[in-house]
Amino acid sequence: MDDVRHSLPRHSDKFMPTLRRHIRESGLAYRTEQTYVLWIKRFIHFHKLRHPREIGIAEVEAFLNHLSVDCHCSVNTQKIALNALVYLYKRFLGVDTSNIGFTPARQYRRLPVVYSRTEIQAIVSNLKGVHRLLVELMYGSGLRCAELLSLRVKDIDFGSNNVFVRGGKGNKDRTTILPLALIPALQAQIRQVELLHAQDIENGYGDVYMPDALERKYPSAARSTAWQYLFPASRLGPCPRSGVIRRHHLHHSALGKQIRRAVHAAGVNKPARAHAFRHSFATHLLEVGYDLRTIQELLGHADISTTEIYTHVVNRGGKGVLSPVDRLLPGGSVQESAPGNRSAV
């Protein structure tokens, strides 16, 4: 349950609990809280456990330069660390950070990992049961791994053929397409969830984690089938916030392990990444003619420039530039475009 906020001491004046409380009062996502705390701890350890109030902007610049020069961190990593330290000093400690003289290294475009349709078929054929359905839904709907695992039974709308993504990246809601081919498998999965939930209730459990204050607002909803996770974990466990024994969703590491095994078994010589199925979803939609704006909405990108990256990995087929070598006939001779004339190579 590492995506559920841990409870904090109510009357602690220690630095980290106070910082975490400030982050939560600011309304930032739990993932952001975890990331900021991680980088602030690294910053403090880099400066020999000195309290942030005892050091300042010069030490911030030294740490960021260390990440860039010594650790060879990517530009995005440098920016995340910078954002964490700006939050620490500007918003938490009230220190002016406008004079930070650090500029992240130049950002280079990195193309996403995309599987071809043949490769996806091979990978899926090496998956079984719920893990196969997870990958098919991730590819078929363009979901992020965290969005996929956080789906509740109520988020699948068979009437409108929509998948509702609640609290996605940036804490935004959106809808994406529900693949028609997966409807029977999803209906069967929901029946399995209903049976498992009934068994949990019989054993004295059955409450699921509810986000925000919904548990207080709708006290009976936590035991309803609609709020149960679509892909529940195989075991019960204590909630880190309340200590109540609950069944959370499947852990991302379990899915990642199965994807790595399937990619290796399929003989696909590309990185085995769950996010590659989301990239493949966008790329394959672009290949068959869907416009960027539609794909942007399905993916939940705030800026269309993020979606435009997929134009660089589209399989051009007959619509793109023909390579000179493709004009050569077997045996090395040059294909003639007209009698008596040889095409230039």
Catalytically active residues, by annotation: 144, 169, 275, 278, 301, 310
Please, which residues have CB within 8 angstroms of residue 245's CB and are 6 or more apart in sequence? 205, 236, 237, 238, 239
DSSP assignment of 74-131: -HHHHHHHHHHHHIIIIIIS----TT----PPPPPP-PPP---HHHHHHHHHT--HHH
* Long-range contacts, stretch 223-229, CB < 8 angstroms, 24+ apart: 225/153, 225/193, 225/194, 225/197, 226/152, 226/153, 226/154, 227/152, 227/153, 227/154, 228/152, 228/153, 228/193, 228/197, 229/149, 229/150, 229/151, 229/152, 229/153, 229/193
Longest dimension (CA), the chain: 91
Are 278 and 138 within 8 A, CB to CB?
A: yes
Q: What distance in Å separates the CA atoms of residue 240 and residue 275, rounded to the nearest whole number?
A: 27
Output the CA–CA distances (angstroms, integers) from residue 35 to 42, 61, 82, in the order listed: 11, 19, 11
Q: What distance in Å separates the CA atoms of residue 328 and residue 336, rounded to the nearest whole number?
A: 9
Q: What distance in Å separates the CA atoms of residue 211 and residue 230, rounded to the nearest whole number?
A: 16
Please, which residues have CB within 8 angstroms of residue 132's CB and are 6 or more apart in sequence? 124
Burial class (CB in 10 A: 0-12, 13-18, 19+), 77: middle
As a residue count, the chain comes to 345
Select from 285, 185, 175 the least CA-distant residue to 230: 185
Are 237 and 230 within 8 A, CB to CB?
A: no
